[in-house]
Amino acid sequence: MIDTIFDEGLNGSTCYSHNFGRFDSAFVLAAANQLFQQGLASQSDPEADKCVYEVVNPLISYQSGRSMKSFEIRRTLEGKETEVLIFRDSLGFLPGSLEDIAGHLTEEAKGAFPHRFVTPYNLDYRGPLPSVEFFEGAKVPQHTGVT
């Protein structure tokens, strides 16, 4: 995913995710680590493009538990050209849940997701919409049409 963003010509872009610090950052770091390992492997391969990925300028908040506020992934091509992608937690600007934010935008309503339905064994699930009890309890009343 990260290399795709770079390849799309989005060098210098800032990518925001809501609650990035406590959720998405773990996945992005895992992906960055994978690319980092590939980069190391490419160093000994004479045929491979020399492409090095690093995580730089991390910013961690220690208020109310640890949370990754921001970091950058830097890609260096052939030891020369350097590109960077910045990852940030939009909670830093927009406190509150995405649902609340949607409420403030008035014309949009946040979608519902059956978080309780998901297990490691059904990530590829295709089938009827899960029943209402699999959706977050607090959000059930507004999704009563879901069965």
Residue ranges that bind other proteins, judged by CB under 8 A:
14, 16-18, 29-30, 33, 36-37, 40, 54-56, 58-60, 62, 68-71, 86, 88-90, 92-95, 98, 101-102, 104-106, 108-111, 113
**CB of residue 83 vs other proteins: minimum separation in angstroms?**
16
* Angle in degrees, CA 118, 119, 122, rounded to 5: 85
Q: Which is nearer to other proteins, 17 or 132 (CB)?
A: 17
Residue given tokens 């309780």 in the structure block: 116
Q: Which is nearer to other proteins, 15 or 132 (CB)?
A: 15
**CB of residue 35 vs other proteins: minimum separation in angstroms?**
12
Q: Which is nearer to other proteins, 7 or 100 (CB)?
A: 100
Residue positions counted in the chain:
147
Residue 10 carries which DSSP code?
Answer: -
**CB of residue 103 vs other proteins: minimum separation in angstroms?**
8
Question: What backbone torsions phi and psi does residue 55 show, to the nearest 5 degrees?
Answer: -100, 125
CA 143 to chain centre: 26
Query: Taking Cα atoms as reference points, which of 129, 134, 132 lies closest to residue 114?
Result: 134
**CB of residue 75 vs other proteins: minimum separation in angstroms?**
13
